[in-house]
Homo-oligomer: A and B are copies of this chain.
Amino acid sequence: MSDEKALTLLIGGARSGKSAYAEQLVTDYAAPWTYIATAQAYDEEMGERIAHHRARRGQGWSTLDAPLDLAGALDAVPAGRPLMIDCLTLWLTNHMLAGHDVDAESARLADVLRHPRGPWFVVSNEVGQGIVPENELARRFRDTAGRLNQQVASVADTVLMMVAGLPLRVK
């Protein structure tokens, strides 16, 4: 439990160490900790990876699965409890694949994150620094993900960009 109410956004590329670093920041607080997972087990391989990650985190952690209803999952976590969301980009993918209005969902989520009820850490991907994708869906996803990252960053107290496992403070 902690008196601190603050939102930290960790943004980075693939394998930039953002999840591991977020875990470390969460566990600087006293247990118990909550891990909100947005990954969906589309197949057996993915299911095994998720189980593997859950086992790695070990004692002190409880896991909530929230592939779509992140606001609901956040509501279910007691005030003061340190938590991390891993990750926004997968959550956005799930909504996009479900055909939902992603901009409305993003705005709704940013509203919830504006008032953290404990030390909250959110992991997201930077996906906009490569060449323009040829695939139209990929372009649309890139735009939506970029807008979501901007919205969350604007309500965050701290924004870290992860580079090769190291944090660079942006806000």
Contact = CB atoms under 8 A, between A and B. Distances in A.
A15 B150 contact: yes
Contacts of A159: 163-164, 166
A75 interface: no
A154 B163 contact: no
A107 interface: no
A93 to B, nearest CB: 9
Interface stretch (A29-37, A53-61, A141-149): A141-149
B161 A168 contact: yes
Interface in A1-60: 9, 11-17
Contacts of A126: 13, 129, 163-164
A83 interface: no
A111 to B, nearest CB: 17
A127 B17 CA distance: 14
B131 A138 contact: yes
Contacts of A128: 12-16, 129-130
18 contacts: A9-B164, A13-B130, A13-B146, A14-B132, A16-B146, A126-B163, A128-B130, A130-B133, A131-B133, A131-B138, A131-B141, A131-B142, A149-B164, A149-B165, A150-B164, A152-B164, A159-B164, A163-B170
Closest 10 CB pairs of A and B: A130-B130, A15-B146, A13-B128, A14-B128, A153-B164, A150-B165, A129-B129, A13-B129, A149-B164, A126-B129
